[in-house]
Structure 1
Amino acid sequence: MTHRTRLAPSPTGALHLGNARTFLVNWAMARQQGWEILLRIEDLDGPRVKQGAAEEAIDLMAWLGIDWDHGPLYQSHDLAVYQQALQQLADKRAAFACDCTRSEIEAASRSAPHADEHELRYPGTCRDSEVPPAEQMFERGWRLEVDDRLLSFTDHFAGQYEVNLHQTVGDFQIWTKTGLPSYQLAVVVDDHRQQIDRIVRGNDLLSSTPRQQWLADRLDLQFAPQYWHLPLVRGSDGRRLAKRHGDTRVSHYREQGVPPERVLGLLGEWCGLGPRRPMTKAEFLAEFRIENLPADDTVFEPADDRWLTKAN
């Protein structure tokens, strides 16, 4: 059996060094273990999608030496499959229409945001709402009902993970009022139909996995991929890389004349390949071992920027 993974950039922003490290690790694991790689552009985040960002991400991954076997496939090019999934969930009363705003949820539940996702727990306000007319089906927000039970799975990097969705996030969103599927629904539908059974991504998505497993079960999908949730790259303040930490875009370094081998060298050190040095993709592939990847988040320091640019 041939296993398959996916590289799934979202064109809501530029590819930065943290994204690049995750994609590079995913690529190396796939090439070492003989998995197929599918490139999927997750472009369903409405107004946050930036024009040209998808094409730039594709170009930059290729510049770093990351290749793939299938794609790119764009989620926005085929909404019918997500509509069919929502219809199935609605028909079996596993999901319900809900247009509650964040302020309304906060007022109803008096809950604090979820620490890792700035997400409020949904208190079940619209669980007994009427099914909307067919012509309004995809113009309403929808949530998936969750049971009050403990869910768990074992991640190959992060270890055992347990959560009670009912107590932490409640019934979660699967369709938005903008007429688009949520990240959770789109990912489950696509991973199943594209036969993705090896998922490597950042540990900021660790808490999404039980939701996706619950959703797949409600859709009666045979969906049991293996997971590796990797540590993130953060700024010196402990927050995820962003503009406040300076320009960490891969395109910024390419525009400064930094060769890809130097970027790979920094990423290689962050991946446990020893002291940083210019490195080809072949060298990275030969030396990378997932068991040597540091378990803690990596901190991007000003010295890292200076090392990247000092040869220019």
Structure 2
Amino acid sequence: MRRLGKNGPTTFDLGLGCMGMSQFYGPGDDTESLRTINRALDLGVNLLDTADMYGPYTNEELIGRVLRTRREEVLVATKFGNVKDDTGRVVRVDGTPEYVRRACEGSLRRLGVDVIDIYCQHRVDRNTPIEETWGALAELVAEGKVRYLAISEAAEDTVRRAHAVHPVAAVQTEFSLFSRDPQRGLLRALDDLGIGFIAYAPLGRGLLSGRYDADARFPDDDFRSGLPRFTGENLRRNAATVRGIRELADRRGLTVAQLALAWVLAQGPDIVPIPGTKTVGRLEENIAAADVRLTDEELALLDGIAPVGAAAGDRYPDMSGVDI
């Protein structure tokens, strides 16, 4: 078990990212997704991560079906701020106080709960001062509609400003052997502030699952088909890095995914990765990483194979919406 910072909740070592069950990674299967979520809870996982934009809305509704009977076992984390049009395209980021309240009410209704455990600002609204957004969030906490607050993809200065308005329980940002930017200073700042860290895409959106090589191709309904790291020369270079990681995994009797997750867990006691999956088999493989301990020598070897900045290609085609 881990605690998200000095003011946050206690979670299992790993959470479950539920996004891919409803969008982005090809067609979903609600029946298998529900089996996967329930199996995660059976294994002790308590943090379920979603957002109103996933679907949109249908992912929260999916989790809501589980919460009807297992609410006391779950720390439900959802996010707001990315606004989609009728076609499902993100058209703006909204952090205005009016939108914060409206989004929260919608999430409460879809999840079927009276209180959201962790409510996260999905992206920073550059047109609304962070103090206004977090003032509205603080009101939701005071009203008992939200327990803890978090922010995603925020720069250190933005986090400090938000934290001055209301304690930030956790910052959520992409973090893996392929996405090590938080180690450039953000993680150190969070440690100083007593803020936890939720690592999304800890398997590099599948690059570190061990399933894809340089010849991998993704269908149009899989958003990785448009991500720089999954195309052309970038994919070939990244696949070569994975081969180096696989050699160590094989020596330890681990899968690439288990080794990659164990590396994230080793980076700090209040870092909680939330690998996403749609199947029970992959879930059980990922959860087994909680029992893996890496030696200093193995961590040093991984630093050499995949140092900060080693990934070829940006995380997104357009990085302008990321505040770090």
- The alignment's TM-score, normalised by the length of structure 2, stands at 0.29
Choose 1 or 2 for highest CA Rg. Answer: 1
The structure richer in helix per residue is 2
- The alignment's TM-score, normalised by the length of structure 1, stands at 0.30
Relative contact order (alpha carbons < 8 A, sep ≥ 6): 1 or 2 greater? Answer: 2
